[in-house]
Structure 1
Amino acid sequence: MTRRVVVTGIGVRAPGGRGVKEFWDLLTAGRTATRRISFFDPSPYRSQVAAEIDFDAESEGLTPREIRRMDRAAQFAVVCARDAVADSGLDFAATDPHRVGVSLGSAVAAATSLEREYRVLSGDGAAWEVDHRYLSPHMYDYLVPSVMPAEVAWTVGAEGPAAMVSNGCTSGIDAVGHAVQLIREGSADVMVTGASDTPITPIVVACFDAIKATTPRNDDPEHASRPFDASRTGFVLAEGAAVFVLEEYESARRRGAHVYAEISGYATRCNAYHMTGLKTDGREMAEAIRSALDESRLDGTAIDYINAHGSGTKQNDRHETAAFKRSLGDHAYRTPISSIKSMVGHSLGAIGSIEIAASLLAIEHGVVPPTANLHSADPECDLDYVPLTARERRLDAVLTVGSGFGGFQSAMVLRRPEGATA
Structure 2
Amino acid sequence: MTRRAVITGIGVLAPGGMGNKAFWELLTAGRTATRRISFFDPGEYRSQIAAECDFAPEAFGLSPQEIRRMDRACQLAVVAARDALADSGLGLGQQVAPERIAVSIGSAVGCTMGLEEEYVVVSDRGKHWQVDHTYAVPQLYGYLIPSTITAEVAWTVGAEGPAGMISTGCTSGLDAVGHGAQLVTEGSADVVVAGAADAPISPISVACFDAIRATSPNNDDPEHASRPFDLTRDGFVLGEGAAVLVLEEREHARRRGAQVYAEIAGFANRSNAYHMTGLKPDGREMAEAITVSLDRARLDPTAVDYINAHGSGTRQNDLHETAAFKRALGEHAYRVPVSSIKSMVGHSLGAIGSIEVAACALALRHQVVPPTANLHNPDPQCDLDYVPCQAREAVLETVLTVGSGFGGFQSAMLLRRPFGGSP
Same fold? TM cut 0.5? yes
Q: Please show how residues 289-300 of structure 1 align to structure 2 within 5 Å.
A: 289-300=290-301
In 1, the alpha carbon distance for the partners of 2:134 and 2:323 equals 54
In 2, the alpha carbon distance for the partners of 1:27 and 1:364 equals 14
Contact 2:181 2:247 in 1 (8 A): yes
In 2, the alpha carbon distance for the partners of 1:129 and 1:405 equals 31
Equivalent residue, structure 2, for 1:239: 240
In 2, the alpha carbon distance for the partners of 1:362 and 1:121 equals 47
In 2, the alpha carbon distance for the partners of 1:160 and 1:133 equals 36
Return structure 1 stretches of 4+ with deviation > 6 angstroms: none
- Letter aligned with residue 354 of structure 2: S
**Structure 1 residue 31 corresponds to structure 2 residue 31:** yes
In 2, the alpha carbon distance for the partners of 1:164 and 1:316 equals 26
Note the alpha carbon deviations across 1:45-83, whole angstroms, 9 max, x for none: 011110001111001000000000011001000000000
Q: Please show how residues 239-388 of structure 1 align to structure 2 within 5 Å.
A: 239-388=240-389
Structure 1 unaligned regions, length at least 5: none
Equivalent residue, structure 2, for 1:16: 16
TM-aligned CA deviation for residue 18 of structure 1 = 1.5
Equivalent residue, structure 1, for 2:85: 85
Equivalent residue, structure 2, for 1:69: 69
**Structure 1 residue 113 corresponds to structure 2 residue 132:** no
Note the alpha carbon deviations across 1:363-415, whole angstroms, 9 max, x for none: 00010000000000111100000000000112100000000000000000000
Aligned length: 422
- Letter aligned with residue 40 of structure 1: F
- Letter aligned with residue 362 of structure 1: A
TM-aligned CA deviation for residue 147 of structure 1 = 1.1
Equivalent residue, structure 2, for 1:407: 408
- Letter aligned with residue 383 of structure 1: L
Q: Please show how residues 125-204 of structure 1 align to structure 2 within 5 Å.
A: 125-204=126-205
Equivalent residue, structure 2, for 1:49: 49
TM-aligned CA deviation for residue 16 of structure 1 = 0.5
In 2, the alpha carbon distance for the partners of 1:87 and 1:58 equals 20
In 1, the alpha carbon distance for the partners of 2:125 and 2:240 equals 23
In 2, the alpha carbon distance for the partners of 1:343 and 1:2 equals 38
TM-aligned CA deviation for residue 126 of structure 1 = 2.1
Contact 2:147 2:165 in 1 (8 A): yes
In 2, the alpha carbon distance for the partners of 1:93 and 1:189 equals 14
Other structure's SS at 1:102 match: strand
In 2, the alpha carbon distance for the partners of 1:208 and 1:2 equals 44
Equivalent residue, structure 1, for 2:222: 221
Note the alpha carbon deviations across 1:124-149, whole angstroms, 9 max, x for none: 11222222221111112101111111
- Letter aligned with residue 204 of structure 1: S
In 2, the alpha carbon distance for the partners of 1:252 and 1:420 equals 16
In 2, the alpha carbon distance for the partners of 1:213 and 1:257 equals 43
Note the alpha carbon deviations across 1:99-154, whole angstroms, 9 max, x for none: 00000000000000000001111121122222222111111210111111111111
- Letter aligned with residue 102 of structure 2: G
Other structure's SS at 2:404 match: strand
Contact 2:17 2:24 in 1 (8 A): no
Instruction: Report percent identity of matched pairs.
Output: 72
- Letter aligned with residue 382 of structure 1: D
- Letter aligned with residue 59 of structure 2: S
In 2, the alpha carbon distance for the partners of 1:2 and 1:162 equals 23
Other structure's SS at 2:419 match: coil
In 1, the alpha carbon distance for the partners of 2:398 and 2:4 equals 15
Other structure's SS at 1:361 match: helix
TM-score (norm 2): 0.99
Equivalent residue, structure 2, for 1:4: 4
- Letter aligned with residue 146 of structure 2: P
